[in-house]
Amino acid sequence: MNDGVNGVALAVFIFFFLLVTAMGFMAARWRKAENEHSLDEWGLGGRSFGTWVTWFLLGGDLYTAYTFVAVPAAIYAAGAAGFFAVPYTILVYPLIFTFLPRLWSVSHKHGYVTTSDFVRGRFGSKGLSLAVALTGILATMPYIALQLVGIQAVLDVMGVGGGEDTNWFIKDLPLLIAFGVLAAYTYSSGLRAPALIAFVKDTLIYIVIAVAIIYIPIKLGGFDEIFASASEAYSQTNPATGAPRGALVPGDAGQWTYATLALGSALALFMYPHSITATLSSRSREVIRRNTTILPLYSLMLGLLALLGFMAIAAGVKVQNGQLAIPQLFENMFPAWFAGVAFAAIGIGALVPAAIMSIAAANLFTRNIYKDFIKPDATPKQETKVSKIVSLLVKVGALVFVLTMDKTVAINFQLLGGIWILQTFPALVGGLFTRWFHRWALIGGWAVGMIYGTVAAYGVASPTQKHFGGSAKEIPGIGEIGYIGLTAFVLNVAVTVVLTFVMRALKAPEGVDQTKPEDYTADAGDPGVQVELPPATAGSSTH
């Protein structure tokens, strides 16, 4: 597909890339606070973001370049099954509405920066908090890697660095440059950089979608035409499986998978460290609830985007690697300059979440591994320093991952990451509402969920690979095919409940709960809740 470099598209892409780079570095001075050497400043943007900044930040965070490439790619590959992303994002908001304000309140009252901070404070268990932190870091790394895969796909279609026969250094140079710039401004500006760049990213994406959803169907002869040719393409037999390629509507057998994937993914989304980071950086509890009423705008956008998968089929896009379907569609349909805008939207769409994710993973490491286990007397300044360095390491790790391993490996690990992160739900959300679960029972449930999820996913074969071929498998006892993550989660909860009864009977020590019931409903302005917390350690009441 590399029929030379698309010069105009590349020039537009580079223009936007330079623009956001300048913004990234300038962001350090945006809403600057007095004490810049605290983790609250670097890692949570001073916890000062209002409704709109939070909206852009969360949107930039949850709807990543990978989402924009992968969801239509899934539709392109198999049809209806890929559309589960829409009900999934619908279900996310009632969930956020219910539990995130409580997390916001208790975190602001006690100065928690990460979910593990909360779990440790609530259950008085460093072991449980370590489990949550490790799960978070493990699940985030392949997610960052996938963002780089997204950038690579765009560069590939533009004809830079692509071809298999070029020298590896030339081939990966554009990615290395993009990566270096990202790392540099995240290091210097912290969470403020992605927050500011998210404005550009979303504006570009909204423009591109609006144009694509009107312009492409007109060129292809309307939606009737598009769905007709898609329907025909899906009915063709796939030689590798001997079954049709896909369907426009899920059949009876696919419905359990569809529903469990939607539910499981919705439950998992707000367990990811980067979603929590964006949430805790908001100014008040109200900001979060108000956001649940405007965030679904992104879901609508995602639904429209998914339709691009059908358009790629109708437009006759033929790619081996499904991830390239949408960039290729843009290249084929749009004039060169607008294709450049679309590529910039995807590329910047990768930079924003990659920055937030690496910051979130770094915060987890610093607070819950470095401070808890390595250097308990670390000063806020040292914490910030460690976080900055770890955010670099995490990104380098992701880069090595992308450059050395096959892309399907990154996607497999991302699937696993979703299964893993869901296993922290009982400790976190359970903990927000009740102290009934025993801390050791939670660790037991987590371990069972992690092991079951990993083993089950290992056993899933696909036409192209023997292991980790997908994330759906027969649910034991029900016999339907369902999302492994959700099955593991149900198992996790069952084990936790049983073990809690056992621990109670054995009178195992409960651990100290730092929090009080009223902490969970506190809002900015209430006594003890500061809008801008001073150094990150100020709230931890054990000191």
Partner 1 sequence: MVTPLRVVIALCLVAPFVAMLWVGSYAKTDPVVIGIPFFYWYQMLWVLLSTLLTMIAYKLWQRDQRARSASKGGASK
Residues near partner 1 (CB under 8 A): 80, 83, 86-87, 89-91, 93-94, 97-98, 222-227, 248-252, 255-256, 258-259, 262-263, 289-290, 292-293, 296-297, 299-300, 303-304, 307, 518, 521, 525-526
Provide the minimum distance between the beta carbon of 422 and partner 1 in the complex, in angstroms, as a whole number. 16
Q: Residue 245 or 289: which CB sits closer to partner 1?
A: 289
Q: Residue 235 or 255: which CB sits closer to partner 1?
A: 255
Q: Helices 126-158 and 336-365: crossing angle, nearest 10°?
A: 160
Provide the minimum distance between the beta carbon of 307 and partner 1 in the complex, in angstroms, as a whole number. 7
Provide the minimum distance between the beta carbon of 260 and partner 1 in the complex, in angstroms, as a whole number. 9
Ramachandran quadrant class, 167 (left: phi over 0; alpha: psi -120 to 50; beta: rest): beta
Question: Which residue type sits at 341?
Answer: V
Please name the residues in contact with 482: beta carbons below 8 A apart, sequence gap of 6 or more. Answer: 256, 257, 260, 472, 473, 474, 475
CB 306 within 8 A of CB 82: yes
Ramachandran quadrant class, 161 (left: phi over 0; alpha: psi -120 to 50; beta: rest): left
Q: Residue 203 or 293: which CB sits closer to partner 1?
A: 293
Provide the minimum distance between the beta carbon of 201 and partner 1 in the complex, in angstroms, as a whole number. 21
Provide the minimum distance between the beta carbon of 302 and partner 1 in the complex, in angstroms, as a whole number. 9
Q: Residue 256 or 468: which CB sits closer to partner 1?
A: 256
Provide the minimum distance between the beta carbon of 98 and partner 1 in the complex, in angstroms, as a whole number. 6
Instruction: List alpha helices for 315-406, DSSP H.
Output: 325-333, 336-365, 380-404
Q: Is 318 helix (H, G, I), strand (E, B) or coil?
A: coil
- Give the separation between CA 247 and CA 260, rounded to whole angstroms: 18
Provide the minimum distance between the beta carbon of 224 and partner 1 in the complex, in angstroms, as a whole number. 4
473, 476, 480, 481 alpha-carbon torsion, rounded to 10°: -10
- Nearest of 233, 212, 224 to residue 333 by alpha carbon: 212
Q: Residue 90 or 502: which CB sits closer to partner 1?
A: 90
Structure tokens at 517: 């019931």
Q: Residue 67 or 368: which CB sits closer to partner 1?
A: 67
CB 15 within 8 A of CB 7: no
Provide the minimum distance between the beta carbon of 296 and partner 1 in the complex, in angstroms, as a whole number. 4
Q: Is 127 helix (H, G, I), strand (E, B) or coil?
A: helix
Q: Residue 203 or 255: which CB sits closer to partner 1?
A: 255
Q: Residue 95 or 173: which CB sits closer to partner 1?
A: 95
Q: Is 473 helix (H, G, I), strand (E, B) or coil?
A: strand
Structure tokens at 211: 């144009």
Q: Over the Cα atoms of the chain, what is R_g?
A: 23
Provide the minimum distance between the beta carbon of 107 and partner 1 in the complex, in angstroms, as a whole number. 19
